[in-house]
Structure 1
Amino acid sequence: MCGLAAFFEPGRTFPEHLLAGADADLFHRGPDSGGRAAEPGWAMVFRRLAIMDPGHGADQPMNDEQGRCTLVFNGEIYNFRELRAHLEAAGARFRTNGDTEVLLQGYLHWGTGILDRLEGMYAFVLVDRREGVALAARDPFGIKPLYLCESGGVTALASEMRPLCRLIEPRVDEAALAELLTFNWAAGALSNVTGIERVPGGTLLTIPLRGGPVRRTRFLDVLSTLKPDASMPPGKAESEAQSAIEDSVRGHLMSDVGYTLQLSGGIDSSLIAALASEAAGTQISSYAVSLGDHPFDEGEYRKSVVKRYGLDHHEIEIGGHAFADALPRAIRHMEGPVPHGGCVTLMLLCDRLREASKVVLTGEGADEMFGGYLRYANWRKLAMQDLVGKILPVRFLPPVRPFLGLRQFAGFDPAVYASIYHDFPKMHALFPGLVPKPGARETASRRFSDFRDRLFAVDQIGYLESLLVRQDKMSMAASVEARVPFVHMPLARTVNAIPRHIRAPGGVTKPLLKKIAGRFLDSALIHRRKIGLWLPYDEWLSTSDGLGRYLDVLTASDGCLRSYAEKGALDKVVERFRSGDRRDLPSMWTLVNVELWLRSLGKVEAAPPRPALARAS
């Protein structure tokens, strides 16, 4: 995993200060080596985290022998060995042993058809001198980030927004701000910043080097695989899903520098640990965030996995003060509010595990593939609320049970808003001008008629990307590559074809994955209430020298959010929270999180080095 930036404008020689600034911005993503390529009309900057073929012979930017193409590539191609064998049989000669040159040679052989063959996580930019174009692409799920800025004749791309903010003055996109306050993540092409677009997953950009508009092509749509086959028998669904998971885990173990595991104690990361241990046949190190004796900690379940698979396990205890100290750094690296408080703990975890490895496998994505959230257990109720809401004037129903759900979703798509775990109507009341307009989530939901398909579509297009980007940016803050075996196109094709009544029957969450996990994990771990790294935000916000120190930024005279609320409204919310009257309040954690990000806008200096930390126990 690495970091890249590329700049294009016909005839222009890009200045040294811009390229040096971009290099500094991206240094944390690739401290092992750096490189540049520049000609009149374009320039590339690259930072490398060397994992496959880590010698300098595989450094980037990389050119083919004839000098036709120059490539910068961030990510991993898990099927690169099979592709290489095919290319060698066709006469290609290789100078290196990693996946970067396979991508380069694959383009020379298949053209953009290489995109139909790649299995992995990637974002790349390639200049083809013969064709007079630059090509940029992002993997179908958007595991690897890629941003686009078009300003004043310059077209620029980067792994993070900071290099692009050297071209424009960063200003908040209010459409994104509305989504951030409601969903904690702005979906689709919204990057949080006006003038910068997050390139959608599965998109190919074509940039004419002699000038002209950028052409966008969707080379793979993840939701095109969401076609449940009702005739598939349960036994086949289970065996094919298990086989696809095992294949993905084996593929994700490729590394010339080793790997480690994130272990939460939940089903998803525990199953990855089990399958990785069996595939590796050797002891693997694992790392976990511990909340000490707090009820939210899942330490007792981690112990069973560690014992069963002989993991070399390390616990990193993180409390409210450490969380509060690290929050501004996490927001800076996220380039937006953190979509989940777990971003902070993930970043701190990666700081520690980086001492042992620069590759980590995670369980991210299983919930979106197998229906792991409460909304999948309650889909019938949600579908009924959706139907009734389209027939009755629910706004006029009394605010009592059983009408509360109907009133909450009034005017909104329940398949979209069921993913929100805070009282979003209270947030809308505080900021009436920042109610999200229908966007990428609603577009995904409208593509399907079955309510379960709509839930999966919204999660796989909207919520999942927030988790993938957080894994990327929080791990890269510590110069660590995070891998997500549950988010893999061959696995998605298999799982998205499983019948609805098997994958999401209702009344239970991810029953199919639990059945598969039963062969590898203890029953007590599998059949328990999901915690999912919930953090005690209100408890920590009540500590004035901990997370509560940030409540003052909400009421300060130079506060950013207060300008969107009625005069004095935000002050009253904070005052009530501090007094202990927390009924019917919007999420204070969300308010603090967004306010801190808004205050950070415009600071484009290079990210500071991560702090030195004591070794994990």
Structure 2
Amino acid sequence: MCGITGFAERSHDAETARKIVKGMADLIAYRGPDGEGYYVDDQVALGHRRLSIIDLEGGKQPMFNEDGNLVVIFNGEIYNFQDLRAELVSAGHTFATKSDTEVLLHGYEQWGKELPARLRGMFTFVIWDRASHTMFGARDIFGIKPFYYYNVDGLFLFGSEIKSFLAHPGFKKELNEERLPEYLSIEYIPNEETMFRNVFKLPGAHMFTWKDGRMTVERYYDIQYHVDESKSLQEWEKIITDTFSESVAAHQIADVEVGCFLSSGVDSSFVVNEVAKGTPHVKSFSVGYAEEKYSELPYAQEFSREIGVPSIANQVDADQFFEANRVIQWYLDEPMPNPAEVPLYFLAQNARKYVKVVLSGEGADELFGGYPMYCQAVHFMDYERKVPKPLRKCAGKIARKLPEGFKGKHFLVRGSQEPWQRYLRANYVFADPAERDRYLKKDYHSPRPETFFKPYFDKVSGLDEPTQLQWVDMHTWMLYDILLKADRMSMANSLELRVPFLDREMLDVALSIPQRYRSGKEETKIALRGAALKQLPESVAHRKKLGFPVPLNDWLREDKYYNMVREKFTGPVAEQFFNTGELLRLLDDHKAGRAKNMTKIWSFYSFILWYELYFVNSAPPAGVYGK
């Protein structure tokens, strides 16, 4: 696991370019504190920071092929590299190291642009062909590992994190202000754009080619459902168990100790239990709060005792939470107001004292149907099956005129809409964009947030609604929220996080399972829970998902933390973008108990902290690695 960065242009002075690319890599040094390496010629500069996991001595980067024509930098792990290596040796290739990195070089020689589709793992990589002056790169199918780029006026910048671009004098740093409304509604921008103008995300399952200033982006893999109705639920449970066991084994390949994150839920418990079969004393790591009603620690520690694995836990208090949030907004690159990132940061920080690699349960909900809104979608699916569309439209029109307390009003209204219009994540923070816009000083003429998700729904319009939601979540929520914070919070602490549910083989199983075995009207992850029930204590297999709950709702009512937020809500950044009177009303209503505004407050507060760091101070805060 590493950090990569670099740039390309028609020509430059190599000595100057070397200094620049080193400065870029230094800004993400925490991603790879074990070593650094650079390649520079008169057109390209490549930088690499290494966290040594496999082939500790021989895996240094940048790495070259035999004749020195190809040079690669790589972030991630290739879990099938040994199989690919054997295939390439049979084809006549000679290997100089035992690392998975070298497979990329010889694989590109052998297969060219077909290479990414052959890889099983989490990765981003860049290969520079010195002879053809062509750069090629790709991102794994899920987007577990990040990749950003900037291609303006002949300058092509790329990196694992946007902040590395700040060290290049040609980078024009601008706020992508038109996307502020979407950020406030959704918590992230649900497409390739970022909060920096002209900086884009390379989507998961995509590759790119850069040559002579021109960049082309292509999809190399498409997630498509191929449901198999021939198997029973019990057969699917067995398939999940067997496939997951193999995936966990593959994700444990390392030349260093591997630990596990453990929360109270079935996903991480399934991971820990599987690892413990082959590694009885695997270390598990959990995080919680002194406020017990928000803490997952009692459940996690009880489970650890039951299966006999060491449990290492830490607690986070309010002072730590608020102090860390400023540093966290720097690590994130873009503002993100998901409070769960804070305990995740402290969890990774504690784990790094003991291990370099952890396995975690991310991705199980999206692949196997784990969110309550999938159950709601089953109800809508049944409603649409039973009631003709004209009647649903009529019922929705009538229901809109009913008083707010009328039972069933919202179901009838939403039942008259299309799936993309009632997608809950589109209005995650503000149910009504008009309410959101009251806080903004400018009218951005932004479309309703759900319209950003319509293109995703259009691609899978032939699927049933719960399955549509899963597919859209895989390409938006999981990619831009779940995996982003998992990568940033682990790498901020120089810790490699692996996700065995997000594996090619596990995906193939998930895409085959009938919808009725994924989510019902009341139950989530039906087949996965069934598989877990055969392995885990029944109390764990049926435990509801908590998802890193935090006491922030309560803390914001305490004077100390209320005043912290109030100071920012009346400061110059708030004055620049927001109607501060409305912000204060929002905060005061929450403190007085007249409303629960935590999510909205934290969205504004996180943006203000982030903007101060990147556009006012333009420097890492105290506490960042290397400061």
TM-score normalized by the length of structure 2 = 0.90
1:418 to 1:406, Cα distance in 2 relative to 1, 3 A: farther
Contact 2:439 2:580 in 1 (8 A): no
For residue 457 of structure 1, the aligned residue among 471, 481, 494 is: 471
Tell me the secondary structure at the aligned position of residue 599 of structure 1: helix
In structure 2, what residue type is equivalent to 1:18?
Answer: I
For residue 302 of structure 1, the aligned residue among 300, 303, 310 is: 300
Identity of aligned residues (%): 27
Distance 1:296 1:233 in 2: 38
1:234-286 deviation line (CA, Å, top 9, x unaligned):
233222222221111111001101111111121111110000111x2331111
Cα drift, residue 537 of structure 1:
1.8
Cα drift, residue 74 of structure 1:
0.3
Partner residue in 2 for 1:588:
601
Contact 2:125 2:139 in 1 (8 A): yes
Pair 1:168-2:171 in alignment:
yes
- Which deviates the most, 153-162 or 297-306? 297-306
Distance 1:549 1:385 in 2: 47
Cα drift, residue 36 of structure 1:
0.6
In structure 1, what residue type is equivalent to 2:45?
Answer: A
Partner residue in 2 for 1:403:
409
Cα drift, residue 354 of structure 1:
1.1
- Which deviates the most, 368-377 or 599-608? 599-608
Partner residue in 1 for 2:423:
416
Distance 1:249 1:32 in 2: 26
Partner residue in 1 for 2:50:
48
In structure 2, what residue type is equivalent to 1:131?
Answer: S
Tell me the secondary structure at the aligned position of residue 588 of structure 2: helix
- Where do 1:239-318 residues align within 5 Å? 239-278=238-277, 280-318=278-316
For residue 459 of structure 2, the aligned residue among 430, 447, 456 is: 447
For residue 348 of structure 1, the aligned residue among 337, 346, 349 is: 346
In structure 1, what residue type is equivalent to 2:581?
Answer: G
- Where do 1:436-585 residues align within 5 Å? 436-438=448-450, 441-448=453-460, 449=462, 450-465=464-479, 466-546=481-561, 549-556=564-571, 558-560=572-574, 562-566=575-579, 568-582=581-595
In structure 1, what residue type is equivalent to 2:496?
Answer: E
Partner residue in 1 for 2:233:
234
Contact 2:340 2:547 in 1 (8 A): no
Tell me the secondary structure at the aligned position of residue 75 of structure 1: strand
1:504 to 1:59, Cα distance in 2 relative to 1, 3 A: same
Partner residue in 2 for 1:6:
6
Cα drift, residue 306 of structure 1:
0.9
Cα drift, residue 578 of structure 1:
3.1
1:429 to 1:508, Cα distance in 2 relative to 1, 3 A: farther
Distance 1:494 1:68 in 2: 40
Partner residue in 2 for 1:381:
379
Query: Over the residues paired in the alignment, what is the CA RMSD in angstroms?
Result: 2.5
1:154 to 1:395, Cα distance in 2 relative to 1, 3 A: farther
Tell me the secondary structure at the aligned position of residue 587 of structure 1: helix
Tell me the secondary structure at the aligned position of residue 162 of structure 2: coil
For residue 612 of structure 2, the aligned residue among 588, 592, 599 is: 599
- Which deviates the most, 131-140 or 538-547? 538-547
1:166-218 deviation line (CA, Å, top 9, x unaligned):
3334333235322221121222212221110011111111011xx14211111
Distance 2:581 2:298 in 1: 46
Distance 1:264 1:530 in 2: 9
1:582 to 1:266, Cα distance in 2 relative to 1, 3 A: same
Partner residue in 2 for 1:202:
205
1:136-159 deviation line (CA, Å, top 9, x unaligned):
111111100000101221011100
Cα drift, residue 552 of structure 1:
2.1
Partner residue in 2 for 1:157:
158
Distance 2:590 2:515 in 1: 43
Distance 1:585 1:395 in 2: 27
Partner residue in 2 for 1:615:
none
Contact 2:569 2:580 in 1 (8 A): no
Structure 2: stretches of 5+ with no match in the other structure: none
Cα drift, residue 487 of structure 1:
1.0
- Where do 1:419-430 residues align within 5 Å? 422-425=429-432, 426-430=435-439
1:567 to 1:547, Cα distance in 2 relative to 1, 3 A: closer
Pair 1:70-2:58 in alignment:
no
Cα drift, residue 491 of structure 1:
0.9
Contact 1:424 1:586 in 2 (8 A): no
In structure 2, what residue type is equivalent to 1:456?
Answer: Q
Cα drift, residue 129 of structure 1:
2.0
- Which deviates the most, 448-457 or 8-17? 8-17
Distance 2:620 2:613 in 1: 13
1:579 to 1:435, Cα distance in 2 relative to 1, 3 A: farther
Cα drift, residue 348 of structure 1:
1.4
- Which deviates the most, 43-52 or 175-184? 175-184
Distance 2:520 2:140 in 1: 30
Distance 1:398 1:112 in 2: 58
1:265 to 1:400, Cα distance in 2 relative to 1, 3 A: same
- Which deviates the most, 384-393 or 542-551? 384-393
Contact 1:416 1:445 in 2 (8 A): no
Tell me the secondary structure at the aligned position of residue 217 of structure 2: strand
Distance 1:89 1:102 in 2: 13
Distance 1:594 1:232 in 2: 48
Cα drift, residue 378 of structure 1:
1.8
1:100-126 deviation line (CA, Å, top 9, x unaligned):
011111111221222121000000110
Contact 1:330 1:338 in 2 (8 A): no
Contact 2:553 2:596 in 1 (8 A): no
1:22 to 1:555, Cα distance in 2 relative to 1, 3 A: same
Aligned length: 604
Tell me the secondary structure at the aligned position of residue 378 of structure 1: helix
1:505 to 1:174, Cα distance in 2 relative to 1, 3 A: same
Structure 1: stretches of 5+ with no match in the other structure: 613-617
1:1-57 deviation line (CA, Å, top 9, x unaligned):
1111121111223624422320211211111000110111111011101100011x3
Partner residue in 1 for 2:332:
334
Partner residue in 2 for 1:113:
114
- Which deviates the most, 110-119 or 585-594? 585-594
Tell me the secondary structure at the aligned position of residue 602 of structure 2: helix
Contact 2:6 2:21 in 1 (8 A): no
Distance 2:563 2:286 in 1: 25
Tell me the secondary structure at the aligned position of residue 193 of structure 1: coil
Partner residue in 2 for 1:83:
84
